[in-house]
């Protein structure tokens, strides 16, 4: 929203979130919105907060409370060290608030700050001098104008503490939220060193800290989240995520901080080593979650001769959103209003998608979310909506960070009866080696001749540049995938922008409708993962499709399921015996 006139007064409203905002009254515009070449900068004067720095419509700091953020992100790692820091690297931080706090430590001999946007430094120094007070006159301080992701590669083993004081993972800061960058940060640390990164509001940006946590875990020896609150950062609890080079660094962090703080002999206004700043138990649980999302797959026998059209199925999708407490995104996607044999309808939701297609008398439904899924509510509502008696269901944990045997144990195949109070315990899929699945003698297609099936892929450790690019994912779905499989597309791949920081959105989605089915995928920049659902009634090469998809996204590992879909007359045991799970390693 930006600047808005309310009667005689001028107000500012933040643009970070698509469904919520906060604002304050502006006394004076000090620097009108200015395009720096990297972002849009504005500095405002307010009676309540003093001067306020805004980048791309998002509040970065206010003179009133900037010390809360700058003291915590600087002093927490510096005092946590087992030995005093000598060289500190700051990436971003053009307002110099972090540098100001770091330079209060007498042990620090050198502070290097790498800021990509010179205008941030110049305008903050001129119009908000209290933030950078004394920094530019200190001979220990060195400013480099450049890309932190590039500069850090030249600093292997040189830094005791690295502070990543960036904006959110959009625009010029996007390169600072990926695994390759975090590995460069780890390499730049000395033994026992600590890196710390701002990772957003824990409630309103619920996947930012867990995503960074997961990426840091791949490179660092220990990971810790620091929680505090700052009035200028909407959403209540705010997070910093820290990683250490060496095990056991954080075990002694509180003890080290108490001693070092007392020895330092200076006073702080907001930071104290006696404040543990541990995340609330609920946030810690979210950080340690072992899966990216949840999915329930349903085959429901349609009563009589009913063949629901797109209007009726669209109502099912929208009301399913209500049943599972999700917000629909955009209008339903479908090839036609008739929804004939194998034709698909997809409804995006705020965390992924809900989909439908019909094979004979069976409605083949999928409901996937990147948040907690009220599975029974989704199944019960679907049975009621289509006036059916029961549903054949598969429950799948998606993107689990455990081995394939554990994923199999958490996968359930069950029948849900309309009269039942709850879902039964169910059966598990068959675990096979990928070589057996890819062998010519594999019996799945012989036993499911002329029937629909579903290939599900969770591909891990993908290439950041591919996962971060909606056009690259759409190109895979609309062009590369049809070449791999020989399947014919209907229309173009749809890859909407869900909007950064949209509540509960862990990753965008791509839909490619196919003749006889669909290819629906969801991908996460934070988790470097793509999860794929291909439902189709035509056979294709599993090995070629899985390996080429892994190669396209440079994924290192995949967990796959193979499900028979649209099958009537089979017992639950027969369905379970014909449902497979297997893992595929990168060759």
How does the average pLDDT of the chain come out, rounded? 90
Please state, in angstroms and as integers, the Cα–Cα distance from residue 56 to each residue in 32, 37, 60, following that order. Answer: 12, 12, 10
- Confidence grade of residue 178 (pLDDT, cut at 50, 70, 90): low
Using CB atoms within 10 Å of the CB of residue 571, give its burial: 0 to 12 exposed, 13 to 18 middle, 19+ buried. exposed
Which residues fall within 8 angstroms of residue 222, CB to CB, at 6 or more apart? 243, 244, 246, 247, 248, 249, 250
Q: Delimit the domains of the chain by residue range.
A: 2-62, 66-287, 293-585
Can you tell me which residue has the tokens 């979650």?
Answer: 289
C-alpha distance from residue 483 to each of 292, 455, 489 (Å): 29, 17, 10
586 is catalytic: no
User: What single DSSP character describes residue 341?
Assistant: B
The confidence band for 172, taking pLDDT boundaries of 50, 70 and 90, is very low
Q: Which residue has better confidence, 531 or 419?
A: 531
Model confidence band, residue 125 (pLDDT cutoffs 50, 70, 90): very high
Residue 179's pLDDT is what? Answer: 66
**Would strands 159-165 and 141-145 be described as parallel, antiparallel, or unpaired?**
unpaired
* Residue range 341-370: mean pLDDT, rounded: 92
The answer, yes or no, to whether residue 311 has pLDDT greater than 90, is: yes
pLDDT band at 256 (very low <50, low <70, confident <90, very high): very high
Closest to 375 measured CA to CA, from 441, 294, 467: 294
Is the per-residue pLDDT at 14 higher than 50?
yes
Of 295, 279, 163, the residue nearest 210 (C-alpha): 279
Write down the pLDDT at residue 167: 61
Same fold, 2-62 and 66-287: no
Which listed residue (117, 165, 168, 458) is catalytic?
165
Q: Is the pLDDT of residue 356 over 60?
A: yes
| H or E element in which residue 586 lies | none
The pLDDT of 378-404, averaged and rounded, is 92
Task: Please check the confidence at residue 293 and state whether its pLDDT lies above 90.
Answer: no
Beta 87-92 vs 40-46: how paired, if at all?
Answer: unpaired
- For residue 562, what are the β-bridge partners? 455, 580
The architecture of the domain spanning 66-287 is: 3-Layer(aba) Sandwich (3.40)
For domain 2-62, the question of CATH label 2.30.140.10 is answered with: yes
**Higher confidence at residue 217 or residue 474?**
474
Average the pLDDT over each of 141-155, 290-304, 528-542 and give the range with the smallest value.
Answer: 290-304
Query: Per-residue b/e over 256-292, b at no fewer than 16 CB within 10 Å?
Result: bbeebbeebeeebebbebeeebebeeebeebbeeebb
Query: What pLDDT was estimated at residue 560?
Result: 98
Asked if the model's pLDDT at residue 372 lies above 70, the reply is yes
Sorting pLDDT into bands at 50, 70 and 90, what band is 113?
very high
**Which pTM value belongs to this model?**
0.70
Average pLDDT over residues 170-199: 78
Confidence band (pLDDT; 50, 70, 90) for 468?
confident
Q: Are 144 and 93 in contact (CB under 8 A)?
A: no
> When comparing pLDDT for 13 and 446, which is higher?
13
pLDDT digits (tens, 9 = 90+) for 315-352: 999 999 999 988 888 899 998 889 999 999 999 987 68
Residue pLDDT, tens place only, 481-513? 999 999 999 999 998 866 544 444 456 789 999
User: What is residue 276's predicted lDDT score, i.e. its pLDDT?
Assistant: 85
Q: What is the pLDDT of residue 290?
A: 66
The residue-averaged pLDDT of 383-409 equals: 92
pLDDT in tens, 38-95: 999 999 999 999 999 999 999 999 999 999 999 999 999 999 999 999 999 999 999 9
Give the residue, 527 or 302, on which the prediction is more confident.
Answer: 302
Tell which CATH architecture fits domain 293-585: 4-Layer Sandwich (3.60)
Matching residue, tokens 């014909």: 578
Task: State whether the Cα torsion 252-258-264-270 is positive or negative.
Answer: positive
Does residue 181 carry a pLDDT above 50? yes
């Amino acid at each position: 929203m930006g600047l808005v006139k309310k009667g005689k007064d001028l107000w500012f409203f933040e643009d970070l979130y698509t469904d919520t905002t906060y604002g304050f009254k502006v006394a004076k515009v000090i620097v009108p919105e200015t395009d720096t070449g990297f972002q849009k900068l504005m500095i405002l004067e307010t009676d309540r907060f003093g001067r306020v720095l805004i980048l791309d419509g998002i509040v970065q700091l206010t003179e009133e409370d900037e010390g809360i953020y700058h003291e915590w992100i600087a002093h927490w790692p510096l005092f946590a060290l087992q030995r005093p820091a000598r060289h500190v690297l700051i990436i971003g931080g053009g307002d110099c608030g972090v540098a100001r706090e770091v330079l209060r430590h007498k042990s620090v001999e050198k502070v290097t700050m790498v800021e990509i946007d010179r205008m941030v430094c110049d305008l903050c120094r001129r119009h908000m001098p209290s933030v950078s007070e004394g920094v530019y006159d200190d001979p220990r301080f060195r400013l480099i104008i450049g890309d932190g992701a590039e500069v850090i590669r030249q600093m292997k083993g040189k830094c005791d503490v690295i502070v990543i004081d960036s904006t959110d993972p959009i625009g010029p800061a996007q390169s600072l939220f990926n695994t390759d960058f975090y590995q460069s940060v780890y390499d730049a640390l000395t033994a026992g060193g600590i890196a710390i990164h701002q990772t957003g509001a824990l409630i309103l940006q619920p996947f930012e800290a867990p995503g960074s946590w997961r990426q840091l875990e791949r490179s660092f020896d220990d990971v810790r989240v620091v929680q505090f609150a700052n009035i200028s950062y909407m959403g209540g609890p705010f997070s910093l995520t820290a990683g250490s080079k060496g095990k056991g660094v954080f075990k002694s962090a509180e003890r080290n901080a108490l001693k070092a703080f007392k020895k330092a002999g200076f006073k702080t206004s907001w930071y104290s080593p006696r404040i543990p700043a541990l995340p609330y138990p609920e946030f810690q649980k979210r950080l340690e979650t072992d899966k990216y999302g949840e999915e329930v797959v349903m085959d429901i026998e349609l009563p009589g001769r009913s063949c629901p059209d797109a209007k009726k199925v669209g109502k099912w999708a929208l009301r399913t959103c209500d049943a599972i407490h999700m917000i629909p995104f955009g209008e339903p996607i479908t090839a036609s209003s008739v929804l004939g044999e194998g034709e698909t309808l997809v409804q995006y939701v705020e965390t992924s998608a809900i989909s439908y297609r019909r094979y004979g008398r069976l409605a083949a439904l999928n409901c996937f979310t990147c948040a907690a899924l009220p599975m029974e509510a989704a199944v019960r509502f679907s049975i009621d909506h289509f006036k059916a008696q029961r549903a054949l269901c598969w429950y799948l944990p998606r993107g689990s960070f455990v081995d394939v045997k554990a994923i199999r144990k958490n996968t359930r195949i069950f029948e849900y009866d309309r009269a039942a109070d709850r879902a039964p315990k169910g059966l598990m899929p068959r675990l096979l080696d990928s070589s057996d699945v890819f062998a010519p003698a594999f019996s799945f297609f012989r036993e499911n001749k002329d029937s629909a099936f579903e290939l599900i892929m969770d591909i891990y450790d993908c290439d950041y540049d591919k996962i971060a690019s909606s056009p690259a994912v759409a190109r895979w779905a609309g062009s590369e995938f049809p070449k791999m499989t020989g399947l014919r597309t209907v229309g173009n791949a749809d890859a909407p922008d869900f909007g950064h920081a949209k509540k509960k959105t862990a990753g965008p989605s791509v839909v490619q409708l196919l003749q006889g089915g669909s290819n629906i995928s969801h991908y996460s920049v934070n988790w470097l993962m793509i999860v794929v659902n291909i439902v189709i009634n035509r056979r294709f090469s599993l090995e070629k499709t899985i390996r080429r998809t892994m190669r396209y996204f440079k994924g290192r590992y995949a967990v796959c399921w193979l499900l028979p879909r649209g099958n009537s007359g089979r017992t639950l045991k027969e369905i379970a015996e014909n449902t497979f799970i297997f893992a595929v390693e990168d060759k």
